[in-house]
């Protein structure tokens, strides 16, 4: 992955679709700058799904570090947010790159000393086909609202037999495709965009359809994780 770190610090400007602009607009950007919520994904039925901004902006916790311990080779953090995982990997002397569609998230990651690009996982990316591990933590398996399409894309980013570590909803019965809006419950919600929420059984079904096999499951800190191996 020679040269990725130097190039990534510069970032890559792109014009995001309306669905992605929600992550670059208020109130998400304000929450990242403040390091705290409240922040939610608002479903079309009005239900609010809390987003754990405080944890995202803190240092990597024990559950994060357990997931990172299992990583192999150079690591691509898909939807890196404010960069705690990229920073933790860098502190361990490991090669890592964060990507995110939020300008505030990329700026926060770079400010923590981690390389990051303003880019969607579906955009052209450096090192495609050569990443040892791709991370989909903090609910990021929901990106795009089509987990099979996302996992197929990630399979093209990792090396043959590469790894993806995915965080799932702790409730195993969850399997949802929904339209959501980012909101702080004080201002008008932003642009609706598709999202998915998966428990482990649903993830494993999607993974099999996308060319992955299960390579481990565990829980830590009240969170659920699955390691997938590209076929």
pLDDT at residue 174 in the model: 98
* Contact between residue 198 and residue 169 where contact means Cβ atoms under 8 Å apart: yes
pLDDT, tens only, 157-189: 999 999 999 999 999 999 999 999 999 988 888
* Contact between residue 131 and residue 76 where contact means Cβ atoms under 8 Å apart: yes
> How far apart are alpha carbons 81 and 179 in whole angstroms?
20
pLDDT, tens only, 51-67: 999 999 999 999 999 99
The CATH number assigned to the domain holding 100 equals 3.40.50.150
Q: Is 172 helix (H, G, I), strand (E, B) or coil?
A: coil
> How far apart are alpha carbons 214 and 178 in whole angstroms?
25
* Lookup result for tokens 């994780």: 225
pLDDT at residue 186 in the model: 87
pLDDT, tens only, 67-105: 999 999 999 999 999 999 999 999 999 999 999 999 999
196 sits in which H/E element = strand 193-198
> Which range of residues forms the domain containing residue 21?
4-230
pLDDT at residue 199 in the model: 98
> How far apart are alpha carbons 103 and 181 in whole angstroms?
18
pLDDT at residue 17 in the model: 58
Number of structural domains (the chain) is 1
Q: Average per-residue pLDDT in the chain?
A: 91
pLDDT at 14 over 60: no
164 sits in which H/E element = strand 158-168
| Range 198-218 average pLDDT | 98
> How far apart are alpha carbons 94 and 98 in whole angstroms?
13
pLDDT at 216 over 70: yes
pLDDT at residue 22 in the model: 67
pLDDT bin (cut points 50, 70, 90) of residue 110 is very high
> How far apart are alpha carbons 188 and 39 in whole angstroms?
12
């Amino acid at each position: 992955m020679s040269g990725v770190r130097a190039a990534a610090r510069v970032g890559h400007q792109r014009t995001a679709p309306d669905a992605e602009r929600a992550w670059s607009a208020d109130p998400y950007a304000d929450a990242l700058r403040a390091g705290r919520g409240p922040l939610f994904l608002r479903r079309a039925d009005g239900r609010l799904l809390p987003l754990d901004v405080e944890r995202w902006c803190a240092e990597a916790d024990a559950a994060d570090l357990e997931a990172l311990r299992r990583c192999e080779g150079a690591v691509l953090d898909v939807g890196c947010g404010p960069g705690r995982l990229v920073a933790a990997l860098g502190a361990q002397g490991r090669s890592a790159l964060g990507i995110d569609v939020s300008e505030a998230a990329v700026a926060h990651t770079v400010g923590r000393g981690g390389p990051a690009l303003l880019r969607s996982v579906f955009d052209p990316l450096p090192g495609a086909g050569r990443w040892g591990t791709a991370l989909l933590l903090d609910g990021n398996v929901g990106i795009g609202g089509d987990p099979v399409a996302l996992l197929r894309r990630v399979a093209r980013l990792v090396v043959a037999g590469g790894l993806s570590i995915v965080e799932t909803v702790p409730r195993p019965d969850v399997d949802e495709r929904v339209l959501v809006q980012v909101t702080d419950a004080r201002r008008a919600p932003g642009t609706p965009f598709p999202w998915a929420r998966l428990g482990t059984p649903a993830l494993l079904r999607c993974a099999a359809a996308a060319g992955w096999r299960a390579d481990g499951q565990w829980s830590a800190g009240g969170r659920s994780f699955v390691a997938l191996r590209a076929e």
